Amino acid sequence: MPDVILFFASNADTMIATKALKDGGVAAKMIPKPASVNATANLALSVDHTQQANAIAVLGKANVPLGGVVTP
């Protein structure tokens, strides 16, 4: 199964999320926002589908607002 895409309201939030996920032990790769995603940020994060729940929990604990999740 492919990675899930996490997107955010701003590029700054995406970068903050990258650090929060790294600190929380969740591997994430910064990617360009897919054209199908309606968000103001042009960056998104790709995480392994098995880590989706962990990533969302880590972001919630770090108070990083998640714009949404795309599961290709």
C-alpha–C-alpha distance, residues 16 and 22, integer Å: 10
pLDDT at 8 over 90: yes
Q: What is the pLDDT of residue 16?
A: 97
**How many domains is the chain partitioned into structurally?**
1
CATH number at residue 23: 3.30.70.1530
Instruction: Print the domain residue range for 40.
Output: 4-70
pLDDT at 71: 87
Sign of CA dihedral 19, 37, 66, 41: positive
In whole angstroms, give the CA distance from residue 61 to residue 55: 10
Model confidence at 28: pLDDT above 90 = yes
pTM equals 0.91
- Do the beta carbons of residue 24 and residue 62 sit within 8 Å? yes
Mean pLDDT, to the nearest integer, of 53-57?
97
Q: What is the pLDDT of residue 56?
A: 96
pLDDT at position 65 over 90: yes
The yes-or-no verdict on residue 35 having pLDDT over 90 is no
